[in-house]
Amino acid sequence: MPPKQLFSLKSENIPRATIQRLALYVQVLEDLDRQGNEVISSELLAKACSVNPSQIRKDLAYFGEFGVRGVGYYIKDLISAIKQSLGIDHVWKTVLVGVGNLGRALLNHAEFRLRGFDIIAAFDCDPFKIGEQVSGLEVLCTKRLKEKVHELDVNLGIITTPPERAQRAANHLVEANIHGILNFAPARITVPDYVFVEYVDFFHHLYSLAFHITLSKER
């Protein structure tokens, strides 16, 4: 069954919490696909995602065409359908600001391109880094960000600066008319309402682990 039908799917009807889970399902389905699986039951998919089966069935009701009673879901078709509805069925051109250790690691991270996020330019304000080649890209002066974003038709920005430079990096991205920012710097940034920001905060997660372990030992 071709995913063409999905053009009629009204993505705006999908609740925000479902979106988060759909992103997880895509990841798990892609792993299953790479391992050579063709079909998966909702029970097994639920288990692999640590979500309960009724939740999965409800979430995937938006993609009802891809479920076959007694068989399960066709993995490749389901991936295409979810990706299309999430807007990740095409490449997102991405720039990175802050070529420190973490920035370098992300530039060398093969999964970005594999998953449809192509980092096509890297910026830093450190004169010792400008001109350096990292993972096939020449590090550019942050002052050239706006010019480059327009030239290359970039959609997303990643911030990997130290916390005290995150806001300045965000300002550059906003001025360049970027509408989505993934911020790895451990600092909050302020942007206009029309710009979406997601935070990747390791410490949030570490604090949560520390808290739950502390609590479980107290009990």
User: Where does this chain bind a copy of itself (CB under 8 A)?
Assistant: 11-12, 19-20, 22-24, 26-28, 31, 48-50, 86-88, 92, 100-102, 104-106, 108-109, 111-112, 115-117, 155-156, 163, 179-182, 186-188, 194, 196, 198-216, 218-219
Cα first-last separation, the chain: 53
CB of 186 to a copy of itself, least distance (A): 6
Buried/exposed code over 85-99 (b: 16+ C-beta within 10 A; e: otherwise): beebeeebbbbbbbb
Least separation in angstroms between CB 148 and a copy of itself: 19
The number of residues making up the chain comes to 219
Q: What ranges make up the beta strands (E) of the chain?
A: 39-40, 67-68, 72-74, 92-97, 117-124, 133-134, 137-141, 156-159, 180-183, 196-199
Residue with Cβ nearer a copy of itself (5 or 208): 208
Q: Which is nearer to a copy of itself, 31 or 138 (CB)?
A: 31
Return phi, psi of residue 43, to 5°.
-65, -45
Task: Name the minimum Å distance from CB 69 to a copy of itself.
Answer: 26
Distance CA 180, CA 97 (A): 13
Binding residues: 98-103
* Comparison of 120 and 144: residue with beta carbon closer to a copy of itself: 120
Q: How far is the CB of 79 from a copy of itself (least distance, A)?
A: 12
Annotated binding site for NAD(+): 98-103
The nearer residue to a copy of itself, 128 or 194, going by C-beta atoms, is 194
Task: Choose among 154, 158, 142: nearest CA to 200.
Answer: 158
Residue 68 or 177: which CB sits closer to a copy of itself? 177
Answer yes or no: are the C-beta atoms of 158 and 99 closer than 8 Å.
no
- CB of 83: closest distance to a copy of itself in angstroms? 9
Taking the C-alpha atoms of residue 80 and residue 97, their distance in angstroms, rounded to an integer, is 31
